[in-house]
A and B are shown apart, each in its own frame.
Chain A
Amino acid sequence: QMQLQESGPGLVKPSETLSLTCSVSGGSISRYYWGCIRQPPGKGLEWIGYIYHDGSSNYNPSLKSRVTILLDTSKNQFSLKVRSVTAADTAVYYCAGASDFDSRPIFDIWGQGTMISVSS
């Protein structure tokens, strides 16, 4: 059974870059979409972006200028970088895998999530 595990810093200083690594186990990363979703404390879910197994990517326009998702097939991992963070980027960050349904992603595999706080 495919599983995802996030690893992140826990705390990032304002204006710095948030880095999250998502490790895939139990299956190949060379399938599916791989994405990131975040959830501020006590709030709802916000889609950040995804990368397809061919390397193409799609980002939320609200974050697009600050976000990059990269795929590392040799390590069965993908990663998220969010630049120039502020307190508004404080959230639980989830890694997720999405099956391809008629060329659309449906997130059916989720990591446990990792809390990342932005504070000096």
Chain B
Amino acid sequence: DTVMTQSPDSLAVSLGERATMNCKSSQSVLLSSSNKNYLAWYQQKPGQPPKLLIYWASTRESGVPDRFSGSGSGTDFTLTISSLQAEDVAVYYCQQYYRTPLTFGGGTKVEIK
């Protein structure tokens, strides 16, 4: 299985400040023939299902604010919230869809400092 490791487990950021979290996969999720990384990010607020934010490691889903950005390639990825808003308090999960079993990271919990 491709193990997805997220760090940190939690972070507290002041409103308007940048939040950065990482995701590392145990195997590359880059398909070299297409140069696409099969990596998605989800946001899960308390009591709600996950919501797709980003796919192909850096493509925002329709309707997702542009303060959310994804980067990275191969095995190392980052999700950045450029200016944290109160509504961004949530747990963020990365997920690889390169190979089955599809696997998720353990999540990073983002709180307001």
Contacts and interface: CB of A to CB of B under 8 A. Distances in A.
A58 B101 CA distance: 8
A107 B52 CA distance: 7
Interface string A83-113: 0000000000010100001101111101111
Contacts of B38: 104
Interface in B69-113: 93, 95, 97-98, 100-107
B77 to A, nearest CB: 15
Contacts of A110: 49-51
Given A102-B34, A104-B38, A105-B97, A47 B49 contact: no
Nearest to A105: B97
Contacts of A108: 52, 61
Prevailing SS type, chain B contact patch: loop
A45 interface: yes
A113 B40 CA distance: 20
Given A110-B51, A112-B49, A105 B102 contact: yes
A101 B55 contact: yes
Interface size class of A (residues with CB under 8 A): 20 to 34
Contacts of B60: none
A106 B101 contact: no
B49 A106 contact: no
A45 B92 CA distance: 11
B19 to A, nearest CB: 19
Given A44-B105, A96-B49, A102-B36, 14 more contacts: A44-B93, A44-B104, A44-B106, A45-B93, A45-B107, A94-B50, A104-B98, A106-B55, A106-B97, A107-B50, A108-B61, A110-B49, A110-B50, A112-B48
